Structure 1
Amino acid sequence: MLKAVILIGGPQKGTRFRPLSFEVPKPLFPVAGVPMIQHHIEACAQVPGMQEILLIGFYQPDEALMQFLEATQQEFNLPVRYLQEFAPLGTGGGLYHFRDQILAGGPEAFFVLNADVCSDFPLSAMLDAHRRQRHPFLLLGTTANRKQSLNYGCIVENPQTHEVLHYVEKPSTFISDIINCGIYLFSPEALTPLRDVFQRNQQERQLEDSPSSWPGAGTIRLEQDVFSALAGKGQIYVHITEGIWSQIKSAGSALYASRLYLGRYQVTHPERLAKHTPGGPRIRGNVYIHPTAKVAPSAVLGPNVSIGKGVTVGEGVRLRESIVLHGATLQEHTCVLHSIVGWGSTVGRWARVEGTPNDPNPNDPRARMDSESLFKDGKLLPAITILGCRVRIPAEVLILNSIVLPHKELSRSFTNQIIL
């Protein structure tokens, strides 16, 4: 018997996912046509012996989340439950707080997946590795180039046994080109070190005579408090994957993740990919079109385009490397490149909405998405263009490398701006 836990986090100030996270919790943002965490759930549901999937986070359980859970349980015929933290408890605090629910029924092991990663989720291979050499912690790792590895948790392994000898979260100097994917397989005994961290935190809080000792004691960081402390003690091992993997920290990385998943659909879900049909739009590369969308036959779509529910795409529209969300309208001869068009937004005739791609170096197989920042040296960095919810773009204007907050009606062109 197996279980899976997906850590979905919660609303944070200054999130790099705004303005898109204003309308929907980040884990439910559509990536390649389905909510981000549906990719996780689909992978978990395919593992033989999977009995239950638990979502842990501190989002309020709103209508969108409840509808998603209900639909997911029906689709996969598997219990999917949401466990709400009383406060942000870090990457390990929720696991310890809900340990009774995780261990109920006596699972052999349980997967732990961060919601904000894109992967082909080699869970069966991880399970095989765990059963060959049973240890409390198995981490999924991949490789990054030397410079970019500093942005991730770095793993030094024994190449013969794959034991994790050293672990450093976002080191200041080069440690290793093996990085932590945020996907794990834990034995039940893995919760014992989390208990030790909790008790130590509780003791320290009591020494400080803090009136709010519980939230502080309950916060556990898997990476710093557990992995770094236990590395080299025969408890943590790593399984290296050469499959697809990327973080989804921002809208730009969501667009890149959509491309990776659309490519995976060739193998996993070919039925989700649009096919070129006589009298239909011209399809180039991998494209997802929701069945309720209306697309004019003269439109040219792709590669790497996702079109959501109820979208209208007019005659002569050109769409490339973009996500168009629920209920948006692209009027005749619109051009949308490297952009995300928000829910219910309208782009007028002959308008151009364009961003600048921030993709990994295609000549470096170990390159990853760079950590994106909105500003550098006081200037807005060029990036993909994002139209928030219900934005109206007039005819014959250019919106380039800009972020438009929700419910704005523009009257002219904008370049390299955040439009408040």
Structure 2
Amino acid sequence: MARGKSVGSNCVKVAIAIMLKAVILIGGPQKGTRFRPLSFEVPKPLFPVAGVPMIQHHIEACAQVPGMQEILLIGFYQPDEALTRFLEAAQQEFNLPVRYLQEFVPLGTGGGLYHFRDQILAGGPEAFFVLNADVCSDFPLSAMLAAYRREPHPFLLLGTTANRTQSLNYGCIVENPQTHEVLHYVEKPSTFVSDVINCGIYLFSPEALKPLRDVFQRNQQDGQLEDSSGLWPGAGTIRLEQDVFSALAGQGQIYVHLTDGIWSQIKSAGSALYASRLYLGQYQLTHPERLAKHTPGGPRIRGNVYIHPTAKVAPSAVLGPNVSIGEGVTVGEGVRLRESIVLHGATLQEHTCVLHTIVGWGSTVGRWARVEGTPNDPNPNDPRAHMDSESLFKDGKLLPAITILGCRVRIPAEVLILNSIVLPHKELSRSFTNQIIL
């Protein structure tokens, strides 16, 4: 898309390309504790969901928006080999600059945006998307951009609906139903406020950084009252939700774009398994080439299944629905696998049964073993239901949940592992139920 601009008295039209950017907030190792032990081996944003790293879904969506010039990742992770390799591969695949900007300290959901404002605004983007890394979505970015261009405002939030009970776990939005202006915003209210919730996906104009500057300056002044040195380190920490959205709601600056597409948070291993199911379903439209097909002499495929090209799957195995098999995985004869993620280099020996489980990198499940979790899905009879926030314990007992095998776990033949979490590098000798195996 281009805009015309008249220059001089002869009214010559000069085309000016519209330029957009995207920022993905990836957090840091101090977050994602509910994702352990999986986050011990790889930064949470790189955990494979439906066969590709979690944030690759974000990058793919951003790269499809016309005029996208650059994608920036902001977080507090050390730029290790895995992250560097991912960034290099993403730049080659999408032919876009994909850069990581590391915060010097954790700066909150808005602090990194303000700290790296010069990099975000370099080149004069028309607007920039901001996406939290720990969400699963079909990312209706083009629809958000169209809404923004019809009526530009500093902040456009993507919203969806939740039921009354679950809305308390999210940022709640009270909108003007005619104009879609956000009149009131409360993060995780104690009582019901609205069934419209914040998806953690935004489109900001360059002017959106001015309120962030105001918060920074206010934090700095408050800090100086407490610290006479004037070097208060907390000034850079800005919470988009509480410090900006709640403060500016009702002032004509924040608007919401509602979606009825897929959306879920990815806060835990259980929600990663659910997100994998959602993305595998999306592949029917977006990436049909990623879905395994039932072929003569090949394994039996039921529903949506992803199999990495390097995986070796025996023809008598039965896979699906909602299965993701990673690089170099070996699946033996007679294996039954459903609603599970099997990560790089794992081995499922003959006649293994794996249900509602994440099998960690390089782990081995012995012959005739059964590894099973309990599904924690949204209420299928409530179209506005989302994944519940999972807690590992209730009343001092481990809650039944999906089973997680950490990296390089060895499960012996003919045992049952049910609703349990096995930490990395464990070699088990017997069955376990409802336990965390340290």
For residues 58 and 252 of structure 1, the distance between their equivalents in structure 2, rounded to whole angstroms, comes to 24
CA contact (8 A) 2:352 2:365 kept: yes
Cα shift readout 1:330-382 (whole Å, capped 9, x = no counterpart): 00000000000000000000000000000000000000000100001111100
> TM-score, structure 2 length as denominator?
0.95
CA offset at residue 215 of structure 1?
Answer: 2.7
8 Å Cα contact 2:128/2:205 also seen in 1? yes
Describe the SS at the equivalent of 1:135.
coil
Change (3 A) 1:258 1:13: closer
TM-aligned CA deviation for residue 93 of structure 1: 0.0
The unaligned stretches of length 5 or more in structure 2 are: 1-18
Taking the aligned partners of 1:228 and 1:264, their CA distance within structure 2 comes to 33
Q: Deviations for 1:245-292, whole angstroms, at most 9, x for unmatched residues?
A: 000000000000000000000000000000000000000000000000
Q: In structure 2, what is the Cα distance between the partners aligned to 1:275 and 1:226?
A: 48
1:206-232 Cα shifts (integer Å, max 9, x gaps): 000165844300000000000000000
- Is this contact kept in 2: 1:324–1:340, CA < 8 A? yes
- The structure having more radius of gyration, on CA atoms, is 2
**What per-residue deviation string (whole Å, max 9, x for no partner) do you get for residues 298-340 of structure 1?**
0000000000000000000000000000000000000000000
Aligned equivalents of 2:316, 2:133: Cα separation in 1: 37
Choose 177-186 or 371-380, whichever is displaced more: 371-380
Cα distance in 2 between the residues matched to 1:377 and 1:414: 20
Partner of residue 14 from structure 1, selected from 29, 32, 40 = 32
Matched-pair identity in %: 94
Written as runs of structure 1 = structure 2, the 5 A alignment for 1:67-216 is 67-209=85-227, 213-216=231-234
Query: 2:352–2:366: 8 Å Cα contact kept in structure 1?
Result: yes
Distance, in Å, in 1 between the alignment partners of 2:35 and 2:191 is 28
Distance 1:210 1:266, change over 3 A: farther
Distance 1:211-1:401 versus aligned 2 partners, 3 A rule: farther
Distance 1:77 1:212 in 2: 44
Contact 1:89 1:215 in 2 (8 A): no
Aligned 8 A contact 2:32 2:39 in 1: no
| In 2, Cα distance between equivalents of 1:53 and 1:211 | 37
Whole-angstrom CA distance in 2 between matches of 1:26 and 1:211: 37
Provide the aligned length of Structure 1 versus Structure 2: 420
Q: Among 277, 286, 292, which residue is 1:274 paired with?
A: 292
**The residue matched to 2:282 in structure 1 has which SS?**
helix
Q: Tell me if structure 1 keeps the 8 A contact 2:32–2:268.
A: no
Secondary structure of 2:424's aligned partner: coil
* Contact kept? 2:32, 2:44, Cα under 8 Å: no
TM-score for both structures, normalised by structure 1: 0.99
Q: Is the 8 A contact 1:141 1:241 kept in 2?
A: yes
**8 Å contact kept, 2:157–2:201:** yes
Q: Name the SS for the 1:309 alignment partner.
A: coil
Per-residue deviation at 1:155? 0.1
Q: State whether residues 224 and 232 of structure 2, in contact with CA within 8 Å, keep that contact through their aligned partners in structure 1.
A: no
* Other structure's SS at 1:371 match: coil
Q: C-alpha separation between the residues in 1 aligned to 2:387 and 2:80?
A: 31
Runs of 4+ in 1 over 6 A off after TM superposition: none
Query: CA offsets, 1:117-163, max 9 Å, x none?
Result: 00000000000000001000000000000000000000000000000
Does the CA contact (< 8 Å) of 1:391 and 1:406 recur in 2? yes
Change in 2 beyond 3 A, CA 1:88/1:212:
farther
Greater CA drift, 105-114 or 11-20: 11-20
Rounded to whole Å, the distance in 2 between the matches of 1:5 and 1:317 is 42
Question: What do the CA deviations read for 1:60-93 (whole angstroms, capped 9, x no partner)?
Answer: 0000000000000000000000000001000000
Q: 1:259 to 1:159 in 2, by over 3 A?
A: same
Q: What is the CA-CA distance between 1:12 and the residue it aligns to?
A: 1.4
Q: Secondary structure at the match of 1:16?
A: helix
The answer on whether the counterparts of 1:332 and 1:350 sit within 8 Å (CA) in structure 2 is: yes
Instruction: Tell me by how many angstroms 1:13 deviates.
Output: 6.3
Does structure 2 conserve the Cα–Cα contact (< 8 Å) formed by 1:169 and 1:224? yes
Q: Distance in 2 between matches of 1:92 and 1:214?
A: 18
